[in-house]
Structure 1
Amino acid sequence: MRRKPMPFLELLTPEEMGRADAYAVENGVPSMTLMENAGAAVVDAVMAHFPRQRVIILCGPGNNGGDGFAVAAMLRELGWSVRLGLFGSADKLKGDAAAMAERWRGDIEDARALSFDDADLIIDALLGAGLDRDITGDLAALVERINTAKAPVVGIDVPTGIDGATGLIRGTAVNADLTVTFFRKKPGHLLYPGRHNCGVLQLGDIGIPGEAVDAIGPRTFENGPALWTLPRREAEGHKYAAGHAAILSGGPLKTGATRLAARAALRAGAGLVTLIGSEDALRVHAAHVTAVMLSIVDDAEALRGFFADKRHNTLVLGPALGLDRKARALTQTTLGLDAALVLDADAITNLADDPDAALARLMNRKSGTVLTPHDGEFARLFPDISGDRLSRAREAAAQTGCVVLLKGADTVIASPDGRAAINANAPPSLATAGAGDVLAGIIGGLLSQGMDAWEAACAAAWLHGAAAQVFGRPGLIAEDLPDCLPAAWAQIDAR
């Protein structure tokens, strides 16, 4: 099958970006040309966002500093008032950075001694993305002075102090208003707190051949429709061909969360959706639902019986399920079902009672399984996994054989095969009660239609964010999201 084009969705670690640079050089693009093009990309971005004014450019000792020297020379030629400060000694510059410094032919001031009082703009070319230690000492002091200056800041590649692979702050970091990076984004541009420190992110073309991506084979992506294909109804299809998702309800006073999930599953295209649970709970549901069906499933035996009908191919459990003995028993029973599973909220906490046993049983499942923890639930189920969000999600997926969707403002979706996507379209308004229940339902609705678990989780996260954007005004509540899904879906059809 022909691979779908990915319009710049690949995310490259700093190490992979170094390999992309090397690929370009090996295929005839001089390294100085790459640096010149990087400088030109920054200049284009600066001129698009700011009027001609007084600018201070702060350069470091490496290639990021070389980019800064290129920017300084170009802006001066365009009539800007440019001062350049170097952190370090000019006689220690090497390679392309030294050559670009020669082209500057202007004063090189000590960055540590520069005053920013008269600057209208600061350009940060101190350090690149591949930090291997925390920033301390004089450089940390310089970063703090940048952050307290009145002038806006433009970062080159990543703001100084941000780890390009993880988005973590290494000691301290520049808060940029605009960041210009090259060829492909890095994970640290999308993962918090790096995403915040980058401000507006702009991607520049510096002449690296697109084939470099194929040579590198990156496994991390920005989530978007090019990563997955949504299910489509056949002209002669029927509702049973679109799958049958079940949502396991909590008790009679905890029914709202599962109704949100059920409606979301329907809006995501499931042919049929059934709420299952105790009779008392279903009587509450009956007063609220119309297209969603109801079936009494009150214990483990009834749950196995319900899924003996193979048309019932997906189960979502966890939203307001409860943490009592009955809920724990039902959660354990689901791990032995053939149906695809979405394990959310209370289901994850129930599994955390005996995480080692849970992980072993999850690894033995043959049907698609998606875990959707937030950070607290993740820590309960995976107490021995630490590190940045991307590496934690990947390790959890490897340990369970499941897709792990680690929820947050920078949701990460990791597959057991090593692929991972970072979702970047979710607005802050999604931080509202019940939004996670809707997300679980969307995943279940897509799984019921036969989507691969990783693709279903990625698509659901994107649609979830797009639905919130469709609502597009203050006052978003979880109940709004399912009915915004058709318009979100239509955005994909319109591309």
Structure 2
Amino acid sequence: MGETIQDILVTPAEMTAIDRDAARSGIDSFALMRSAGMAVSAAALRLFPAALRFVALCGPGNNGGDGYVAAGALADSGANVTVFALGDPKALKGDAARAHRACSLAASPAETYEPQPGDVVIDALFGAGLARDLPEQVKEIVERVTGNGTPVLAVDLPSGIDGHTGGVRGSSFIAAHTVTFMALKPGHLLMPGRARSGTVEIFDIGIPARLVAARAGNLRLNTPRSWAHYVSALDPATHKYKRGHLGVLSGGELSTGAARLSAAAGLRAGAGLVTLASPSKALAVNASHLTAVMLKEIKDAGDLSGWLQDKRLNAFVLGPGFGIGKKARDFALMLCDRALVLDADGMSSFREGRAELFEKIASSGGEVVMTPHEGEFARLFPEIAADAALSKIEKAQAAARLSHAVIVYKGPDTVVAAPRGRCVVNTNAPPWLATAGSGDVLAGIIGAHLAQGFPAFEAAAAAVWRHGEAGTEAGRGMTAETLVENIPPLA
């Protein structure tokens, strides 16, 4: 099950290069625009059969050209269509000018549009390449359309959404549906762009897949195709030690639940054995809650050093409920030569002195995954978090390069990034995953994959996807405990 073009993400700059390569290869660029506009018109008729009027808002570039083609096709089909143009259509150039000339409908100034009952707006003002705030006149149109509840069908990306970052450039339409071309853009997947794009349809307008793949970088949608090879390599007849031994480090007697959730998730997710390493004072409370998960007393660094003599113990989770401080730092530095998930308190303990951790990861050769949410990311990588010019994807990639670890930058648009630039964006997580203990479960799933021999990047990507599927299966009333119960099989 190999990668498909549907998995590839391209930045707006890469898409511009792809369009240019297609034209240079001899493909008729106007034929591509016509294909795009026809796809939009087909989506409009399919999705909004009760529309009383289609309103095409056409911008000053090629996105506007797509809109003129769509408007003409809708009119030819017998639909009631009105066109509004931003700027002077006579100033259009190239294919957009040709599309305008071919459209038999007269265009009124965009700023004069007043929504009417039964309207459906075709937003062809600006596409994914928008890199500035919307003009005031367009903001006013957006306000009128949004305030009136008029449905919007976006061409490429809702106008006002930055295709590079997913951010809102001053204001934006909120689309019911978006038709984009050849490949997804980061703005379709990163919040808030994802929430404002509605359902997204990728239409193949006829650019050869090889041209798209040649320009695409390391960005992908997170799907099982990203890590299927490692699933198929698992031997279903193997014994428990071949499936790995995961160690989860518990906190003190008043904060043991988070580590137990990670341990339970690790066992459910496929680790052959899971041991909860507990300080002395927490042994009784942990023992009273454990069955299949084993328990071992680990009081200090000396105990941990002795335990590490067992080389079958090949992966660890450190952080959930562990406590912030020197003990967490000491333990983390000792574990960097193994496969390690550094979560929660494990990361926060390095808010000061992170350089020692990053250098240890780089020199130890282990497989380390860090799982920060927004606040933890800002504490551990403050200079990266503060750079407003970077997308969430770029921030995760920068943090991975700096730390030498795989970064799982959590949220509704979780990004997984590797130190060498590979990156996937996850989209299958339901909103109710944002609940207490959910992150502890994710850490345990990653740990299970590491224990089974997955490389760190694939372990994290697969875990994030399974975590999302588990949340969907558990349903809106889920708790962290029921989330564990609903972790799906790897294959």
**TM class by shorter-chain length?**
over 0.9
Match of 1:438 among 430, 436, 441: 441
Question: Which residue of the partner structure matches residue 279 of structure 2?
Answer: 278
Question: Which residue of the partner structure matches residue 12 of structure 1?
Answer: 10
1:419 aligns with 2:417: no
Matched residue of 1:96: which SS? helix
Q: Using a 3 Å threshold, how does the CA distance of structure 1 residues 235 and 427 change in structure 2: closer, same or farther?
A: closer
Query: Whole-Å Cα distance in 2 between the matches of residues 318 and 274 of structure 1?
Result: 15
Question: Which residue of the partner structure matches residue 291 of structure 1?
Answer: 292
1:169 aligns with 2:168: yes
Query: Whole-Å Cα distance in 1 between the matches of residues 428 and 237 of structure 2?
Result: 35
- Note the C-alpha offset of 1:327: 3.4
Deviates more, 1:432-441 or 1:22-31: 22-31
Letter in 1 for 2:252: G
- Note the C-alpha offset of 1:178: 1.1
Question: Which residue of the partner structure matches residue 40 of structure 2?
Answer: 42
Letter in 2 for 1:401: H
Query: Whole-Å Cα distance in 2 between the matches of residues 174 and 62 of structure 1?
Result: 18
Question: Which residue of the partner structure matches residue 479 of structure 1?
Answer: 481
Q: Is the 8 A contact 1:42 1:71 kept in 2?
A: yes
- Note the C-alpha offset of 1:145: 2.1
Q: Using a 3 Å threshold, how does the CA distance of structure 1 residues 108 and 236 change in structure 2: closer, same or farther?
A: closer
Runs of at least 5 residues in structure 2 that lack an aligned partner in the other structure: none
Query: Whole-Å Cα distance in 1 between the matches of residues 393 and 116 of structure 2?
Result: 39
Query: Whole-Å Cα distance in 2 between the matches of residues 235 and 203 of structure 1?
Result: 37
Question: Which residue of the partner structure matches residue 262 of structure 2?
Answer: 261
Letter in 2 for 1:412: V
Query: Whole-Å Cα distance in 1 between the matches of residues 270 and 126 of structure 2?
Result: 47
Letter in 1 for 2:211: A
Query: Whole-Å Cα distance in 1 between the matches of residues 326 and 33 of structure 2?
Result: 63
Q: Using a 3 Å threshold, how does the CA distance of structure 1 residues 7 and 183 change in structure 2: closer, same or farther?
A: closer
Matched residue of 1:458: which SS? helix
Question: Which residue of the partner structure matches residue 252 of structure 2?
Answer: 251
- Note the C-alpha offset of 1:329: 3.4
Question: Which residue of the partner structure matches residue 215 of structure 2?
Answer: 216
User: What does 1:312-351 align with in structure 2 at a 5 Å threshold?
Assistant: 312-335=313-336, 338-351=337-350
Q: Is the 8 A contact 2:166 2:193 kept in 1?
A: yes
Deviates more, 1:41-50 or 1:139-148: 139-148
Letter in 2 for 1:392: K
Deviates more, 1:301-310 or 1:431-440: 301-310
User: Could you list the per-position Cα deviations for residues 180-222 of structure 1 after superposition, in whole angstroms to 9, with x for gaps in the alignment?
Assistant: 1111111110000000110111111211111123311421111
Letter in 2 for 1:47: L
- Note the C-alpha offset of 1:119: 5.0
- Note the C-alpha offset of 1:129: 0.8
User: What does 1:141-180 align with in structure 2 at a 5 Å threshold?
Assistant: 141-180=140-179
Q: Using a 3 Å threshold, how does the CA distance of structure 1 residues 347 and 235 change in structure 2: closer, same or farther?
A: closer
Question: Which residue of the partner structure matches residue 237 of structure 1?
Answer: 238
Query: Whole-Å Cα distance in 2 between the matches of residues 365 and 93 of structure 1?
Result: 58
Matched residue of 2:349: which SS? helix
Q: Using a 3 Å threshold, how does the CA distance of structure 1 residues 484 and 7 change in structure 2: closer, same or farther?
A: farther
- Note the C-alpha offset of 1:44: 1.7
User: Could you list the per-position Cα deviations for residues 442-488 of structure 1 after superposition, in whole angstroms to 9, with x for gaps in the alignment?
Assistant: 000000111010011000000000111122x3311010122212xx2
Q: Is the 8 A contact 1:9 1:221 kept in 2?
A: yes
Query: Whole-Å Cα distance in 2 between the matches of residues 282 and 332 of structure 1?
Result: 24
Q: TM-score, with normalisation over the residues of structure 2?
A: 0.95
Deviates more, 1:113-122 or 1:50-59: 113-122
Q: Is the 8 A contact 1:307 1:339 kept in 2?
A: no
Runs of at least 5 residues in structure 1 that lack an aligned partner in the other structure: none
Q: Is the 8 A contact 2:319 2:328 kept in 1?
A: no
Query: Whole-Å Cα distance in 2 between the matches of residues 27 and 74 of structure 1?
Result: 27
- Note the C-alpha offset of 1:233: 4.2
Query: Whole-Å Cα distance in 1 between the matches of residues 38 and 135 of structure 2?
Result: 31
Query: Whole-Å Cα distance in 2 between the matches of residues 466 and 6 of structure 1?
Result: 21
- Note the C-alpha offset of 1:404: 0.3
User: What does 1:7-406 align with in structure 2 at a 5 Å threshold?
Assistant: 8-51=6-49, 52-229=51-228, 230-231=230-231, 233-234=234-235, 236-335=237-336, 338-385=337-384, 386=387, 387-406=390-409
Q: Is the 8 A contact 2:113 2:141 kept in 1?
A: no
- Note the C-alpha offset of 1:325: 4.0
Matched residue of 1:16: which SS? helix
Query: Whole-Å Cα distance in 2 between the matches of residues 24 and 65 of structure 1?
Result: 20
Deviates more, 1:351-360 or 1:456-465: 351-360
Dislocated runs of 4+, deviation >4 Å: none
Q: Is the 8 A contact 1:55 1:122 kept in 2?
A: yes
Query: Whole-Å Cα distance in 2 between the matches of residues 287 and 87 of structure 1?
Result: 69
Q: Is the 8 A contact 2:245 2:314 kept in 1?
A: yes
Deviates more, 1:231-240 or 1:286-295: 231-240
Query: Whole-Å Cα distance in 2 between the matches of residues 233 and 153 of structure 1?
Result: 46
Query: Whole-Å Cα distance in 1 between the matches of residues 237 and 166 of structure 2?
Result: 48
Q: TM-score, with normalisation over the residues of structure 1?
A: 0.95
Matched residue of 1:398: which SS? helix
Q: Is the 8 A contact 1:275 1:282 kept in 2?
A: no
Matched residue of 2:436: which SS? coil
Letter in 2 for 1:327: A
Query: Whole-Å Cα distance in 1 between the matches of residues 21 and 290 of structure 2?
Result: 58
Q: Using a 3 Å threshold, how does the CA distance of structure 1 residues 114 and 221 change in structure 2: closer, same or farther?
A: same
Letter in 2 for 1:321: F
User: Could you list the per-position Cα deviations for residues 123-172 of structure 1 after superposition, in whole angstroms to 9, with x for gaps in the alignment?
Assistant: 11000111222223222222222222332111100000111111011111
Deviates more, 1:216-225 or 1:317-326: 317-326
Q: Is the 8 A contact 2:9 2:216 kept in 1?
A: no
Q: Is the 8 A contact 1:66 1:97 kept in 2?
A: yes
RMSD: 1.6
Matched residue of 1:442: which SS? helix
- Note the C-alpha offset of 1:174: 1.1
Q: Is the 8 A contact 2:14 2:216 kept in 1?
A: no
Query: Whole-Å Cα distance in 2 between the matches of residues 300 and 334 of structure 1?
Result: 11
Query: Whole-Å Cα distance in 2 between the matches of residues 115 and 236 of structure 1?
Result: 67
Query: Whole-Å Cα distance in 1 between the matches of residues 359 and 455 of structure 2?
Result: 22
Query: Whole-Å Cα distance in 2 between the matches of residues 289 and 234 of structure 1?
Result: 27
